[in-house]
């Protein structure tokens, strides 16, 4: 249940703190006052897209914090525990949006991506917007609405998985069937390519080894000449070499050391240098003795590198990855050589996958048809009370195994309606006017909301286009819903507003420089005054005030519960 919203520098709101209670909370205000700002802020906190345009003018940051009690919301509580975000039956979501367009989100103080906000939000709040009736005309939404009402998610997942398995096998069958048409040519090509790669017999890491050896052989003359030159300068020159110079210097320092011990460190360093020279000389002699000038080996390496590059270009693959190609082509060759056997096996596997799919799809169809009958009956009954006496509503759910398989099942789902007595049922988009569509949408939303496990239901001016007795019935429906769930309703109808347990008023004030929006929790007298305004407009009389008070009292009598006036 939603318990608290804090809004800071959002749109025309500077700072706003709102506490919420159980039951039906009504939100009203004059046109243009910003009644939906609170709901927009709630949507942002639960993962709606945002940009810097929502930040209050002159500010560099906006922030929204919302708090929920999850004590009676096992789905949300389990989700928090699973993501290691649980906090003793409380969930606090905070989201900030910066002037550069970036945003940050936190769930119980833990930084979280927007995707997680949306996942959690779907378990906490169900929002029914004033324009939802327009999307009700789309076939996809009609199917989704029916499946949600029937609680078909697990069955849908089963159908999707069965379809995926069938599709993969079928695609393999089609690929092998197509390949078999050009089988002879394809076999010849694959055999030739595999034979080429087997002859090359390239090993992983071999190219690097070849390049190292090739570089050494290609530069063998220079390496040998330079190494010999260094050896002569170190020790082998008969006239003068570094070894002789070091030995002479060490002998002289040994003589001086007898005169002054302070020269001993220098003598030790020269001795170390002599040892290093002797070791370096030994290493160089070993290196030069192993170094060969081998033109034939060099030519062989150059030819192998050329063969590798040629095959790499032919297969359009990096030479470093060429060694991975042989297993792949060998597997393709094996599959094609055994295509007849695989095709035979595939036929049996495809049939089994099709049987599994059809079983899952038929189970889904049965559940859809049962739910369709129930939903049709309930919406039709609701239409009688919403000013559409004699009207009928039907969810057509037609399943046929002749249809192409689909990840969504085999059903064609369509909402049909007859708005007036004697009219035949026709697709919703062809017969419903804007007002009728709005009322049918409201009926479906209220019915669907009764079965939802989501604790907070929000209705944003879904009662547009209705009034009088129908408006009162809508209010009673929302009031009934609020007996088991928290309901927030933005409305312009006094008949609906009179039925609320709590009443929030949205006001917009402005001067020459600043426009701000405030939301006030109305007291007894303030609530009577607001409903009187909704009844009488600018000219509020004692008669309209009396009418407003009477409407609230009648709401109490109709529901048999105390309607809050404070």
pLDDT of res. 480: 85
Query: CB within 8 A of 389, min separation 6: which ones?
Result: 383, 421
* Residues 42, 66 contacting (CB under 8 angstroms): yes
Task: Give start-end residues of each CATH 3.40.50.300 domain in the chain.
Answer: 2-130+425-559
- The pLDDT of residue 566 is 34
Write down the pLDDT at residue 393.
93
Tokens at residue 52, please?
């810097």
Is 540 within 8 Å of 525 (Cβ atoms)?
no
Q: What letters, b where the CB count within 10 A reaches 16 and e where it falls short, cover 66-94?
A: bbbbbeebeebbebbeeeebbeeeebbbb
The neighbour count for residue 406, using CB atoms within 10 Å, is: 13
Partners of 24 in the β-ladder: 487
Nearest residue to 453 via CA among 99, 28, 125: 125
**Number of C-beta neighbours around residue 269 at 10 A:** 11
Pairing of strands 103-107, 13-19: unpaired
Helix (H, G, I), strand (E, B) or coil at 259: coil
CA 488, CA 503: separation in Å to the nearest integer?
A: 10
Q: How far apart are CA 460 and CA 73, in angstroms?
A: 23
In angstroms, the CA 213 to CA 298 distance is 8
- What contacts 169, CB < 8 A, 6 or more positions away? 346, 349, 350, 353
User: 2-130+425-559, superfamily in CATH?
Assistant: P-loop containing nucleotide triphosphate hydrolases (3.40.50.300)
Note the pLDDT of residue 34.
Answer: 72
**Mean pLDDT in each 10-residue stretch from start to end of the chain (566 residues)?**
94 89 91 78 89 87 94 88 88 93 92 92 80 71 88 94 95 80 77 90 89 88 89 82 88 88 90 92 89 87 90 90 89 78 84 94 95 94 85 90 85 90 85 71 77 81 74 85 88 90 88 78 90 82 88 76 44
Q: How many CB atoms lie within 10 A of CB 111?
A: 9
Give the DSSP H/E element, type plus range, for residue 550: helix 542-559
Residue 296: other Cβ atoms inside 10 A: 8
Give the C-alpha separation, 184 to 172, whole Å: 19
């Amino acid at each position: 249940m939603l318990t608290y919203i804090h809004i800071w520098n959002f749109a025309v709101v500077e700072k706003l703190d709102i506490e919420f209670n159980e039951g039906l909370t009504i939100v009203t205000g004059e046109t243009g006052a910003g009644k939906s700002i609170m709901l927009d802020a709630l949507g942002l906190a639960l993962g709606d897209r945002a940009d810097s345009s929502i930040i209050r003018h002159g500010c560099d940051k906006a922030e929204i914090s919302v708090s929920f009690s999850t004590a009676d919301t096992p789905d949300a509580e389990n989700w928090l525990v699973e993501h290691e975000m649980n906090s003793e039956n409380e969930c606090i979501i905070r989201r900030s949006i910066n002037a550069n367009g970036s945003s940050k989100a936190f769930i119980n103080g833990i930084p979280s991506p927007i995707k997680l906000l949306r996942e959690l939000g779907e378990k906490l709040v169900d929002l029914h917007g004033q324009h939802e009736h327009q999307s009700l005309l789309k076939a996809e939404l009609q199917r989704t609405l029916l499946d949600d009402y029937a609680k078909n998610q697990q069955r849908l997942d089963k159908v999707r998985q069965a379809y995926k398995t069938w599709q993969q096998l079928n695609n393999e069958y089609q690929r092998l069937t197509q390949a078999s048409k050009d089988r002879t040519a394809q076999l010849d090509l694959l055999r030739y390519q595999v034979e080429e790669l087997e002859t090359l017999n390239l090993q992983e890491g071999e190219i690097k080894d070849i390049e190292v050896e090739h570089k050494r052989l290609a530069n063998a003359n220079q390496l040998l000449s330079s190494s010999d030159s260094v050896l002569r300068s170190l020790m082998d020159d008969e006239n003068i070499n570094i070894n002789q110079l070091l030995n002479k210097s060490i002998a002289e320092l040994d003589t001086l050391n007898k005169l002054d011990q302070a020269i001993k460190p220098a003598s030790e360093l020269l001795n170390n240098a002599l040892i290093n020279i002797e070791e370096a000389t030994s290493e160089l002699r070993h290196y030069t003795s192993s170094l060969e000038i081998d033109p034939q080996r060099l030519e062989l390496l150059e030819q192998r590198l050329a063969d590798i590059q040629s095959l790499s270009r032919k297969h359009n693959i990096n030479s470093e990855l060429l060694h991975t190609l042989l297993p792949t082509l060998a597997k393709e060759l094996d599959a094609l050589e055994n295509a007849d056997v695989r095709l035979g096996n595939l036929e049996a596997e495809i049939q089994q996958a099709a049987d599994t799919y059809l079983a899952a799809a038929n189970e889904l169809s049965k559940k859809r048809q049962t739910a369709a009958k129930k939903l049709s009956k309930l919406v039709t009954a609701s239409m009688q009370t919403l000013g559409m006496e004699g009207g009928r509503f039907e969810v057509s759910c037609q399943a046929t195994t002749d249809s192409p398989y689909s990840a969504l099942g085999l059903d064609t789902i369509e909402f049909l309606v007859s708005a007036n007595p004697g009219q035949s049922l026709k697709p919703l988009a062809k017969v419903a006017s804007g007002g009728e569509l709005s009322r049918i949408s409201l009926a479906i939303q209220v019915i669907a909301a009764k079965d939802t496990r989501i604790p907070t239901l929000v209705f944003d001016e879904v009662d547009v286009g209705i009034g009088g007795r129908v408006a009162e019935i809508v209010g009673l429906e929302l009031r009934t819903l609020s007996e088991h769930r928290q309901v927030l309703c933005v409305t312009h109808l006094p008949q609906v507003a009179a039925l609320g347990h709590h009443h929030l008023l949205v006001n917009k004030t402005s001067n020459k420089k600043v426009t701000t929006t405030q939301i006030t929790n109305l007291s007894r007298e303030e609530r009577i005054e607001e409903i009187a305004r909704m009844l009488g407009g600018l000219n509020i009389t004692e008669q309209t005030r009396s009418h407003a008070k009477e409407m609230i009292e009648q709401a109490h009598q109709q529901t048999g519960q105390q309607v809050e006036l404070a």
